[in-house]
Every structure is written in structure tokens, then in C-alpha cells.
Amino acid sequence: MNKPPLTIRMHERDNVAIVANDGGLDVGTVLSDGLVLVDRVPQGHKVALVDISDGAPVLRYGIPIGHALKTIPAGSWVHERLLQMPAARGLEGLPISTVKALALPPLQGYTFEGFRNADGSVGTRNILAITQTVQCVAGVTDFAVKRIKAELLPRYPNVDDVVSLEHGYGCGVAIDAPDAVVPIRTLRNISLNPNFGGEVMVVSLGCEKLQPERLLPPGSFAIADERKPEGSALDVVCLQDDAHVGFMSMVDSIVRQADTHLQRLNQRRRETVPASELVVGVQCGGSDAFSGVTANPAVGFCTDLLVRVGASVMFSETTEVRDGIDQLTSRATTPEVARRMIEEMAWYDSYLQRGSADRSANTTPGNKKGGLSNIVEKAMGSIVKSGSAPISHVLAPGEKLKHKGLTYAATPASDFICGTLQLAAGMNLHVFTTGRGTPYGLAAVPVIKVATRSDLARRWHDLMDINAGTITDGTATIEDVGWQLFHLMLDVASGRKKTWAEQWKLHNALVLFNPAPVT
Ligand code: CA
């Protein structure tokens, strides 16, 4: 059955619209306003609504996403090869806290069932995490974790999982370089994620640069400290310890230590807590031109709901918001928040420059196939995940979030690195939108995946948790999908529902952001 041709224009100033129909539209198709396509236009790609002269701006979301490299007749397919990308917005003279945001009315009465921690934070899962100081111990830890899962976990029905915090850091790195603080604090703060119940347990090799006391100095893990006698040491299994004779004695040590932590974790029970205890990280990956039309606006609406219930919500992905920096600084609650955002953007600009790259390195072949011509167009669609609430805090990569409301957590856009840094910030629930499709998941927190298109949701029916394609199908509004996501979040946070990634136990590796040199 052929559906009538449908195009979506985002802003009244726009001189392009995107094609919504599955499979795209053929040359000669007559649009509802009488415009005839002079090219075949794939789904998600742009069609010129008027003649666009050589050098004129191509407008989407009401802003120039590029300038025409030659005259583009009305009805043409407007692809990335016809566009010159605009230069990046400078970081001087930005509008600072100019938007007087309408106070969003508080939402009350929403709760979920969570695991309350000694430090007041709340977990959505009850997981034993085994921290590692260095990659060298990963194989031994993995071997031990398999045994723990097979032999111990069945005895502790209130514990959801055992997770090995494997990573590539710890030795062979310039550990005193100024930027080494980023991977080190990331790893420290991940060990203290609310889903791990304060049961910090470390496996160390012994000779590595990142010594356990450097990773988790006394006082940095207050939760576990409280339960232990004054001055007691961090719980570390050191593989090079003289007491270990043979591989199995190392494994036995890890299994034995894990057992004491599992016993305590197993005593925990879910209790009713206000929805304000949610700490949500939002990000996107494998984006297409619908990301900014369906899934991301629905997530943005849900972001506003989270702010209204008093929860913490983070958006990230520096290269994907860099082109909308003026929108962000104008939404900052104070000039200080705006200044911190500009600082993070400037740091990232120079980080990219050091590697002889710029923000245009972000877009992928898949993004372009999905209709996104360049990073400017991608950023305009990405930034809407942040909704409309004032931005009240800024977090540097790997820092721990301590505030409610909407925070800009500066991270690379790389899915695994962004997810890893949001975990370190203390995220207890993750929302991930995708247009091209990715089976992304994390072992430490539930990841709710939102598809931008019904075609993806249909084909990946057992990987996508929510279909925002219903918005372009005309069967749901942005608000409907935002509410649907909000209610699903409460169910997933409570353990009443599992995400598809949890069902299949799909998870990606932790990938630390290490801007410092390796040796
Ligand atoms: Ca991403």
C-alpha cells in the first residue's frame, strides 16, 4: 500500500523539508502543495522547497545548515555534496542567560521502587561491581566472575548481576600528565555508581601505575567506609601478592571476597522513593534525519518532565551541541553556568585541534545515508534532547553529579565513552535514541532505546524499547511519546520491566576517555 507523500519541515523559515515515507519518494512525485520532485529523494533526505541560488543558505530548524555550492532547483534532492558547511560559531560574544525560561510547573506524586544507598543515592539495580586498577587483571577477573555467577549468584536472589569493570587503562600511561585526572576520576566515580550499593571491591595486579590507593584514596568511598572499622583498608585482591600460589589461588581470593559483598547486597530491598531520585543520562547514536524530528524531541519533552519531578538529567556529546552553543549559553541559569559551558567547549575545540581535527569529524557514513548532511544539521537535531528547561549545572568529563535539574555533562559523542562518563556521573538510568539502529547496552544500568522511525522499530522489534516513529506516522504526538517514555522509565527503574538490552544481556565495553598520552 502506497502512503501519500509526506514531507516534514521543521521551521517556517526552512527552504528544505525531509521525506518521511519509507523507501523515499520517486522522481515525478507530486507533493501536497503541488511541488514535483525532480530527483528521487531517499527517506530522511532533504528536498528543496524553492529554488535555492548558488551561495544561498540552506535552512533547516530555521538556521543555515550550509550554503548551496550551485543553484539547486525546487524539487531537487539536497544532499551533503551540494552544501558548504558553515564555519563553527566563535565562543566570544555569546548570548548569556538571555532566555527567561517559563517556570515549568512541578509534577508531584511520581515514584519508583529503588535501592536506597547509605549516601542517599538510589540504585535501579542491585549489582556487585568488581573494580580493576589495570587491564592486566581483566582475564583473571573475568574467569572469577564466571565462577561467581555460576556458583554464588544463585544463592543471592536479591542481587541482579555481577559486573567486571574492565577497561584499558592503569599502566603504560602518562599517569602524572594533567589530563590523566579524567580517566582516573572516571574509574573512581564509576566504582561508586548508585547501582553498586557502595560495595567497593578492587582487583589489582600490584606493579601497575594506577595503584589502588591512587584510584580510591581513603575518604573517596564514604559509603563503604561507614560500614567498616575506623581506618580499615580498601578491599583489594592483589594478584602479585606472595600468598598467591598458582592461578586458582588468585581466583579463589576474588570469589571469597565477592561472597562477603554479595551477602550484604542480598540483604537490600527495593523501597518506594520519589521520582526525583532518578539520575538520567540521555544520548543518541546512529542518528538520522528523523532523530531531530521524532525521538529527540520526545526525549526533550521527557527531559522537561524529569526536571519537573525534581530529578537529575544530563545531556552530553560536545561535538553534537557545539554548533548550538548560543542556544545553550542563553538557557544557562547564571552567567557562571554559561562560562563553564564555554570553558568545556573551548577545551574540546583545542583537544580536537591537537589531533588536527575539528567538529566535522563527527558525522559518519550512516548519518549521511540517513539524510544528515553535516554536523550542523546533526547538532540541531541532537540538542533538542535537552528539552526546554534552564541549564543549571555543568560537569567536566568523569566528574560526579551532585545536583538536581538539567546538567550539561561534557563528554565526547562516542556512544561508549559518553555512556561510560555518564555512568561515572552517577547515572542510574540511560535513554538512547537511534535512527540507523544500534544494539547498544551497558552492563551497569538499564538502557532504554528509542527508535526514530517505525521501519527500524518494526525490523528491530526485539531491540528497540520505544517507537518514536509513531510521531511521523501521525498516530502519536511528541508529548504522547514523551509520556510513554517517562512511564517506561519508572517501570524499568523499579525493576518491573527489563529493557531489550537487559533481556538479551547485550552490553558494550566501558571505554575510558583518556585525553592524556600513553607511554
Ligand atoms: Ca553518542
CA 275/CA 312 separation, integer angstroms: 10
CA of 413 to the centre of ligand 1 (A): 4
CA of 401 to the centre of ligand 1 (A): 19
Alpha carbons within 13 angstroms on the beta-carbon side of residue 292 total 29
Instruction: Return the number of other C-beta atoms located less than 10 Å from residue 237's C-beta.
Output: 25
- Mean pLDDT within 58-68: 94
- Per-residue confidence (pLDDT) for residue 230, from 0 to 100: 47
Q: Is the dihedral of CA 48, 49, 54, 56 positive or negative?
A: negative
CA of 382 to the centre of ligand 1 (A): 9
Q: Is the pLDDT of residue 166 over 90?
A: yes
* Poorest-pLDDT segment among 232-241, 297-306, 458-467: 232-241
CA of 415 to the centre of ligand 1 (A): 4
CA 316/CA 294 separation, integer angstroms: 19
- Per-residue confidence (pLDDT) for residue 435, from 0 to 100: 95
Q: Is the pLDDT of residue 225 over 50?
A: no
The 10s digit of each residue's pLDDT in 10-39 is: 999 999 999 999 899 999 999 999 999 999
CA of 433 to the centre of ligand 1 (A): 9
Query: Given the C-alpha cell 554479595, which residue does it identify?
Result: 262
CA of 304 to the centre of ligand 1 (A): 20
CA of 191 to the centre of ligand 1 (A): 22
Measuring CA to CA, which residue among 373, 286, 385 is closest to residue 328? 385
Beta strands in 179-321 (DSSP E): 201-204, 236-238, 271-274, 279-284, 312-315
The 10s digit of each residue's pLDDT in 95-122 is: 999 987 677 899 999 999 999 999 999 9
- Per-residue confidence (pLDDT) for residue 360, from 0 to 100: 86
CA of 463 to the centre of ligand 1 (A): 17
Would you call 87 helix, strand, or coil by DSSP?
A: coil
- Per-residue confidence (pLDDT) for residue 456, from 0 to 100: 96
What does the angle CA 439 – CA 441 – CA 446 come to, to the nearest 5 degrees? 130
Band of pLDDT at residue 227, cut at 50, 70 and 90: low
CA of 322 to the centre of ligand 1 (A): 14
Indicate the DSSP class of residue 482.
H
- Per-residue confidence (pLDDT) for residue 224, from 0 to 100: 46
CA of 412 to the centre of ligand 1 (A): 8
CA of 285 to the centre of ligand 1 (A): 4
Q: Is the pLDDT of residue 222 over 70?
A: no
CA of 265 to the centre of ligand 1 (A): 32
CA 173/CA 169 separation, integer angstroms: 7
- Residues 476/457, Cβ–Cβ less than 8 Å: no
Would you call 105 helix, strand, or coil by DSSP?
A: coil
CA of 317 to the centre of ligand 1 (A): 6
Average predicted confidence (pLDDT) for the chain: 95
CA of 416 to the centre of ligand 1 (A): 8
CA of 319 to the centre of ligand 1 (A): 10
CA of 414 to the centre of ligand 1 (A): 5
Pairing of strands 391-395, 46-48: unpaired
Would you call 331 helix, strand, or coil by DSSP?
A: helix
CA 27/CA 75 separation, integer angstroms: 9
* Poorest-pLDDT segment among 224-233, 321-330, 468-477: 224-233
CA 117/CA 99 separation, integer angstroms: 37
- HEC secondary structure over 15-27: CEEEECCCCCECC
Phi/psi for 11 (5° steps) reads -150, 145
CA of 263 to the centre of ligand 1 (A): 37
CA of 371 to the centre of ligand 1 (A): 17
- Per-residue confidence (pLDDT) for residue 99, from 0 to 100: 87
CA of 455 to the centre of ligand 1 (A): 21
Residues 6+ away with beta carbon under 8 Å from 473 = 454
CA of 270 to the centre of ligand 1 (A): 31
Band of pLDDT at residue 231, cut at 50, 70 and 90: very low
CA of 444 to the centre of ligand 1 (A): 18
CA of 434 to the centre of ligand 1 (A): 9
- Per-residue confidence (pLDDT) for residue 235, from 0 to 100: 95
CA of 37 to the centre of ligand 1 (A): 33
CA of 418 to the centre of ligand 1 (A): 6
The 10s digit of each residue's pLDDT in 398-432 is: 999 999 999 999 999 999 999 999 999 999 999 99
CA of 217 to the centre of ligand 1 (A): 31
DSSP β-bridge partners for residue 115: 123
Instruction: Return the number of other C-beta atoms located less than 10 Å from residue 185's C-beta.
Output: 18
Identity of the residue numbered 516: A
CA of 290 to the centre of ligand 1 (A): 15
Burial of 353 (0-12, 13-18, 19+ CB in 10 A): exposed
The domain locations on the chain are: 1-84, 127-265, 279-504
Considering the four listed CATH numbers 2.60.120.10, 3.50.50.60, 2.30.130.110, 3.40.190.10, the one that applies to the domain covering 1-84 is 2.30.130.110
Burial of 131 (0-12, 13-18, 19+ CB in 10 A): buried
Query: Given the C-alpha cell 540521555, which residue does it identify?
Result: 282
CA of 284 to the centre of ligand 1 (A): 5
Alpha carbon 263 to its chain centroid, in Å, reads 32
Measuring CA to CA, which residue among 453, 459, 466 is closest to residue 6? 453
